[in-house]
Amino acid sequence: MMNHELKMIPAREPPVMAVGVLAWIRNNLFASTLSIVATLLIVYGLFLSIPPLVQWALVDATWFGADSNACNREGACWAFVTARLDQFIYGFYPAEHQWRPNLFFAQLAVLVLWLSLKWTPGKQWVLGYSLLLMPFVSWFLLYGDLPGLEKVETHQWGGLMLTLLLALCGMIASLPFGVLLALGRRSNMPVIRSLCTAYIELWRGVPLITVLFMASVMLPLFVPEEVVFDKLLRALIGIILFQSAYMAEVVRGGLQAIPKGQFEAFNSLGLSYWQGMIMIILPQAMRLVIPGVVNTFIALFKDTSLVLVIGLFDLLAIIQAGLNDPAWLGNSVEGYLFAGFVFWIFCYGMSKYSQRLEQQLHQGR
Amino acid sequence: MRAFSLLAKIKKGRYVVTDPKHVSHKANSTPRFLRELLRLWRDASFRPLIMQGTVVLIIVMLAIWVISNTMHNLEHRGISTGFDFLSQEAGFGIIQSLVEYDESHSYGRTFVVGMLNTLLVSGLGIFFATILGFLVGIARLSSNWLLARLASVFIETFRNIPLLLQILFWYFSVLAALPHPRQSYALWDSIFLNLRGLFLHKPIIEQGLLPVMVSVLVAIGLTLLFRLKNRMRRLDTGKPIPGASLWMTALLLGIPAVVWGLSGATLTLDTPVLKGFNFRGGIAIIPELGALLLALTIYTAAFIAEVVRAGIESVQKGQKEAAASLGLKPGKVLSLVVIPQAMRVIIPPLTNQYLNLAKNSSLATAIGYPDLVSVFAGTTLNQTGQAVEVIAMTMAVYLTISLTVSLLMNTYNKRMALIER
């Protein structure tokens, strides 16, 4: 008897060019003639630009020094940034009180971490604190004029501290106005609807810079002469007026996404308009608009740099002012790169966070 | 919810159910007019009226308060109100003007000059940002990994840095590092780039060129007419006029060429020449315009690229496959199937980006490009002190642009919605 042994022939190795690194390189870098040309051009371009850039920014750079003369002219003069770092962060805030802005930064860091980490308890309380109390706590902490806290005038504020403060206060204060305006724009009452629409379209139609001009030039005319507004407060009012219109449109998007049945349901339960809005509609809508809110926050964060034109010293303005210092002439590239880097870190981080949130939202549906 | 909890409380004995007589007695104790008011308040058809009336009243009172304060303050500071200042002599120079302007012109003229400069930089910015944005957006979806990465680095870098910072960077770091006029970069001895700007040839329109200009317009009109006719015929018979594109080219180029030949006009160029410390003649693109344009173009292009990417990704894969299986070539698939559907998604946010660009052009004031905000809301405002009028006029210009565009956008969206199933 023949013993037929049935045995699988071992599978042949796939062609080298079909799997693995080589295949990836072929499919993604050299797929067609055009692709080959593009790859070669880009590689050549990177080869030309990257090494000198690294040489300039890192190898030949001077990191510390007292003025421009201490710098190696071949490389970047980061000494400009390191020497003035205090000013870039705190503005003209008195040195002996700098623990106060530090506390403000620490508070922000804790709040942000608390709200973004998954396992931290009591998120609603922390969120409530951030939205309701935090701006006032921060203001009193920085402004002082309380027993035990010396007063620090707002014209001494500046740098990153001012940028963060303007963006945060502008954002948080515009949130309730935005919600009210959005509700008003979707209201059944024609007068209220048209007023809210007019307000939103008015502010969305003009550039922030004119709003800031208006706030700094016209606002003092609008109030009785005895009332004197701080320059910072005027800028903040302008930012809030402007921002609440954008916020309203974001919130309206969320409201529109709520199915009609939800409105009918709370009506048939006998809830009043405000009860229904606060307990049923807004909690759902606000969850939907978080990514949009983060995006408007990013836009506002970038836009706070415009306060430069009305003479406030935010991060960009204080660097711009530092460039004109005779001891540090000719360091504009370093200054702008540093400012750009700081802004970029914040904005990129937030945009990644908002993308993550968006994905989480879409997972549930 | 409420009813349930009330029921629970009654069961627990916290509430005693009162007899109806007692309740009615309590209600009677409130004054009659208050009860009437309460009844009106609870009337669903009346309450909105009360609320709207209150809101209007509050706003009117606020407006009166603000206006009276303003009047009082202005009077106190000795500033006259009204638009008379527009006809006064301005007395300051503007470095770039599309219309004739010098110090002896009026403040009203500075408004026009500023507005035209704003429109100029916005128009140019929109043109370049669209081209760059579409290129980057398509590159972002390229099958070439390196190209796609490069595009995404471009987008993420320039989207996340404030525009003002970018403007200052281009103006103070890059363009200020260009050589002095005597050491200008020159291209074919006709284009010069230096610290003072970019200098180009300027064609001079002479008397003889007028018929040529007119003929160009006529040719464009005739070509459009021909195109319409061709389209009608194609819709009627399914076949276009043979050689249509050839005919159209002939019309577009032939008529002006013939007219030019007959009129015998010659085209002369105004060449930039180095005189003293700077170039004279030709077209000068001032560095302020250059920096602003660069920054606006790159910043907006990063946003447009994302819009384009989202638009192209929104077209379902099945559409491309269906088109390919009908036998369309890849180019035709893109132009006949993908792009038309993507445009529907792209155009509304694209228009928003255009509006943003127009509004962002107001940052010109930071580097001194003479746009509307810089000239009119800046210098004119400071010289006249007419804050209310000047700011109102400035805002009105931007508002008009925005509202007009969004009105057009709404009509477009409505038309698009009708075409949809």
ipTM exceeding the 0.90 mark: no
Q: What would the two tokens of residue A193 be?
A: 């609807």
Are the CB atoms for A312 and A284 separated by under 8 Å? Answer: no
- From the candidates A185, A204, A206, which should be mutated to test the interface with B, based on the most B CB atoms within 10 A? A206
Q: Does B58 touch chain A (CB under 8 A)?
A: no
Residue B375 burial (CB < 10 Å; 0-12/13-18/19+)? Answer: buried
Size of interface A-B (CB pairs under 8 A): 153
Are A28 and B145 within 8 A, CB to CB?
A: yes
Helices B339-360 and B387-419 pack at an angle, to 10 degrees, of 180
Q: What is the pLDDT of residue B421?
A: 45
- For residue B295, what are the CA distances in angstroms to A45, A333, B198, B349, B364? 22, 15, 16, 20, 10
Where along chain A do its domains lie? 84-323
Cβ-based contacts of B48 with chain A (< 8 Å): 188-189
CA distance A55 to B390: 51
- Domain A84-323: give its CATH code: 1.10.3720.10
Q: Which residues 119-158 on chain B approach chain A with CB closer than 8 angstroms? A: 142-147, 150, 156-157
- What is the helix (H) or strand (E) element at residue B198, kind and residue range? strand B197-200
Q: Chain A residue closest to B48 (CA)?
A: A189
Where along chain B do its domains lie? 24-65, 107-206+266-419
Are the CB atoms for A137 and A65 separated by under 8 Å? Answer: no
Number of C-alpha atoms within 13 angstroms, CB side, residue B18?
Answer: 7
Are B169 and A336 within 8 A, CB to CB?
A: yes
Q: What is the pLDDT of residue B330?
A: 74
Are the CB atoms for B258 and B219 separated by under 8 Å? Answer: no
- From the candidates A336, A342, A343, A351, which should be mutated to test the interface with B, based on the most B CB atoms within 10 A? A336
Least Cα separation, residue A107 to chain B (angstroms): 24
Q: What is the mean pLDDT of each run of 10 residues along chain A (365 residues)?
A: 76 79 81 84 90 84 77 80 84 83 88 83 83 85 79 83 90 91 90 91 90 86 80 90 93 89 90 89 86 89 89 88 82 88 92 84 62
Q: What would the two tokens of residue B128 be?
A: 């370049």
Are the CB atoms for B405 and B354 separated by under 8 Å? Answer: yes
Q: Chain A residue closest to B62 (CA)?
A: A222
Are A343 and B398 within 8 A, CB to CB?
A: no
Are B59 and A195 within 8 A, CB to CB?
A: yes
Q: Which of B362, B387, B395 is closest, CB to CB, to A217? A: B387
Q: Which residues 59-78 on chain B approach chain A with CB closer than 8 angstroms? A: 59, 66, 69-70, 72-74, 76
Q: What would the two tokens of residue B257 be?
A: 């060429």
Q: Which of B74, B146, B172 is closest, CB to CB, to A332? A: B172
| Tens-level pLDDT at each residue, chain B (421 residues) | 455 555 555 555 455 555 555 554 445 567 888 888 888 777 777 888 888 888 899 999 999 998 888 888 888 877 777 777 777 777 777 777 777 777 788 888 888 888 999 999 999 999 999 999 999 998 888 888 889 999 999 999 999 999 999 999 998 888 777 777 667 677 776 677 777 777 777 766 666 667 777 888 888 888 888 888 888 888 888 777 777 777 778 877 877 777 777 776 666 666 777 666 666 666 777 888 889 999 999 999 999 999 999 988 888 889 989 998 999 887 788 788 888 888 888 888 888 899 999 999 999 888 888 888 888 888 888 888 788 888 889 999 999 988 888 888 888 877 766 555 4
Q: What are phi and psi of A241, to 5 degrees?
A: -55, -45
Nearest to B122 by CA among B418, B401, B328, B325: B401
Taking domain B107-206+266-419, whether its CATH number is 1.20.120.1200 is answered by: no
Q: What is the pLDDT of residue A153?
A: 81
- Beta bridge partners, B275, equal B278
- For residue B203, what are the CA distances in angstroms to A201, B86, B96, B206, B267? 43, 34, 18, 9, 7
Are B163 and A302 within 8 A, CB to CB?
A: yes
